[in-house]
Structure 1
Amino acid sequence: MEFTFEGTDQNKAETAKKVRKFLEYDFQNYLNRAGMHRTDLSSPQLDPTGVSSHGGNSAENKMFRLYDYQAKCLAVYQTIMDCEENENKGIRSKSILKLRYLDDLSDSQVEARLHLSGSRYRYKKNRALCEFADRLHKWATINDTNLPDLSVYK
């Protein structure tokens, strides 16, 4: 028996563009609202499971939102760290995303650090961004938070 899934043919270029925008703008917004910095994510100690009630009072609601933004940041971090890394196969998704979006290096700095030509780096970065989109839902679910589906389908 063969199963087919509707909408699973990912538009790689549009997905990479959407993920890039998410990591450059939305992720920074989540960090700001969580009162965090990228450096706080190098060894996250967050436990977003501590809030189960949506509460009734304003202080509880504010705390819930704070925990939710921390959970979003943790989900992004875990998604990046879950991306594939296999130097023997030339797959550097985790390194590219970590250096670019967690360590906040420029594209040219990441290129140089990984000893990649410009075109090779762009190809591998787009591949990494699409992989990020594929893995994000898992970590959002584990951290009990909602994040957008970043995949764009043909």
Structure 2
Amino acid sequence: MGVKIVSLADLNFDKEKTISKTKNFLENDFPDIMNYSGLPVTYLSSPILDPTGVHGGGNVNHQPDQFLKAIEQQDKYDAIVKDCENATRAVVEAMNSCPDTERDPYRKILIRRYVKNDFTQWIYNDMNYSPRTYGRKRDEALYIFAQHLERYRKKYNAGRLIPVLMVHG
């Protein structure tokens, strides 16, 4: 028995499908994840205030049950917010790990487009790119980001909200 050496070519990723899946995630899912991660906990549900603590018929005080339900809902919301915070950290760290040189300004493109939500035309004008060159660079940035993201998905345990973006061919 010997050790089989695996080359990156053996992994056989579909670049076009990976770019499409990554773009879809960043444009459709990530804005919601980012929004939830930045929201303060605003869900404050208090028991219905009734001077006697009694609702409707009977002499049963339902306030403790309502309060426990409110706490359970708050715990679920807190868990969602925490998951969104972790997912946002994973995405932003993956973006920040991408090259950002004059020739390959991938980090700049990703942050401006998908975090700051700048208009595409503003970005390519500021970078002195034609729309076609910008589109090519953006696609390269998306592919490299997808490669980097897997490490950060694991680091932040964000697999529930962030899918694997690399598509095998």
TM-score (norm 1): 0.76
User: 1:66 matched to which residue of 2?
Assistant: 81
User: 2:33 matched to which residue of 1?
Assistant: 30
1:97 to 85, 88, 110: 110
Structure 1 unmatched ranges of 5 or more: 37-56
User: 2:156 matched to which residue of 1?
Assistant: 143
* 1:2 CA displacement: 2.6
User: 1:2 matched to which residue of 2?
Assistant: 5
Cα distance change on mapping 1:26 and 1:109 into 2, 3 Å:
same
* 1:9 CA displacement: 2.0
**Which one has the largest radius of gyration?**
2
1:33-74 Cα deviation digits (max 9, x unpaired): 3344xxxxxxxxxxxxxxxxxxxx543333222111111111
For 2:10 and 2:37, the matched residues in 1 are separated by: 33
User: 1:129 matched to which residue of 2?
Assistant: 142
User: 1:17 matched to which residue of 2?
Assistant: 20
* 1:7 CA displacement: 6.7
* 1:22 CA displacement: 0.5
What count of residue pairs does the alignment treat as equivalent? 133
Q: Secondary structure at the match of 1:137?
A: helix
Structure 2 unmatched ranges of 5 or more: 40-71
Deviates more, 1:142-151 or 1:119-128: 142-151
CA-atom RMSD in angstroms? 2.2
TM-score (norm 2): 0.70
Q: Secondary structure at the match of 2:164?
A: coil
Question: Which one-letter code corresponds to 1:64 in the other structure?
Answer: A
The question of whether the paired residues in 2 share the 8 Å contact of 1:85 and 1:91 is answered with: yes
